[in-house]
Chain A
Amino acid sequence: MSEVQIMTGNTAAALAAKLCRVQVVAAYPITPQTSITEMLSQYIESGALKAEYVRVESEHSALTVCISASSVGARAFTSTSSHGLLYMHEQLHWAAGSRLPIVMCCVNRGVGAPWSIFNDQQDSVSQRDTGWLQIYCRDNQEIIDTVIQSYRIAEEIYAPIMVCYDGFVLSHTMMPVDIPDAELVHSFLPPYKPHTILSAASPRNINPVLFPGTRRNSEGILCDGYMEMRYKLQDALERSRDLIAAVGMQYFKLTGRDYSEPLWRYKTDDAEVLLTGMGSIATESTVAADMLREQGIKAGVVGVRIYRPFPRKAIPKALENARAVFVLEKDISYGYEGALCSDIKAALYGTGINAPLHNFIAGLGGRDVKAREIAEAVRTSLAEMKNKKPQNKTIWINCRK
Chain B
Amino acid sequence: MGRNPAYAGQMVGDQRINYMERKDKNISAMSTPAIGEAGLTGDWRDMKPVIDHSKCIPSVKKKPACYLCWLYCPEGVIKVSIPVEIDMDYCKGCGICAEECPAKAITMVNEEG
Contacts and interface: CB of A to CB of B under 8 A. Distances in A.
Given A190-B4, A190-B6, A203 B28 contact: no
Given A215-B39, A216-B39, A246 B31 contact: no
Contacts of A158: 2, 20, 27-28
B19 A157 contact: yes
Interface stretch (B7-15, B49-57, B58-66, B105-113): B7-15
B36 A224 contact: no
B28 A196 contact: yes
Given A156-B19, A195-B1, A246-B12, A97 B28 contact: yes
A98 B20 contact: no
A243 B18 CA distance: 9
A218 B13 CA distance: 45
A202 B17 contact: no
Contacts of A98: 28
Contact of A195 (B2, B33, B35): B2
Contacts of A197: 1
Interface stretch (A11-19, A39-47, A76-84, A247-255): A247-255
Contact of A247 (B6, B12, B37): B12
A190 B7 contact: yes
B12 A218 contact: no
B3 interface: yes
Q: Which of A97, A99, A226 has the most CB of B within 10 A?
A: A99
A379 interface: no
Contacts of A232: 24, 27
Contacts of B30: 196, 204-208
A253 B13 contact: yes
Interface of A: 97-100, 155-158, 190-193, 195-197, 202-208, 210-211, 215-218, 223-224, 226, 229, 232, 239-240, 242-243, 246-247, 249-250, 253
Interface of B: 1-7, 12-13, 15, 17, 19-20, 24, 26-39
5 contacts: A192-B4, A196-B27, A205-B31, A206-B29, A242-B19
